[in-house]
Structure 1
């Protein structure tokens, strides 16, 4: 008969391997990104900035128009640059030397949407009616 030997062989034992032992460790979960939250004051600031931006764009890209006496036609005008020392009275008297200067000043103020006759800015260009 044959004999079978049961013994602990070095290559069969899992405890005696030369491989390094690997331990499992927990990996932290990624942190959620914080969301931006606006306070009431922050919402008011964002709303105010939006309103100002829209108003500024409306003024910049809005249409320009001139109010005239005749329906559907704009009055004939010429552009005059305001020089240092110029007054609206002088500009009106040069534009309409034989007419009523007060009425000409009023027309220039209305054409250029000036708040009053002394609101001229040096270097600005204004529209002046052309008289025959």
Structure 2
């Protein structure tokens, strides 16, 4: 039986290393350039979020004092002319920054004005 051996045509005896080496100043320049590109992209993309120059109109409200036994549902149902009591409740909670629907007697609430 015969054997066949192949020798590579070209054998490199030295490994090639990259000739580009960055100094501390070079790394700083690359970092700052990258940072400027990212900030410029963020500035361009954020340019679409623009507000108007005019002030908005606040919703008309009135002050209601909570009587003993009153609930937020009861107050909202008196105000809601279109039958959307839950929506009026959410609006009252938002206007008064309420954490819960519990009310205390004597508490003053800002409520939307009825539109009859």
Q: Per chain length, whose mean CA-contact separation is higher, i.e. which structure has more relative contact order (CA < 8 Å, sep 6+)?
A: 2
Return the index of the structure with the highest Cα Rg: 1
TM-score by length of 1: 0.44
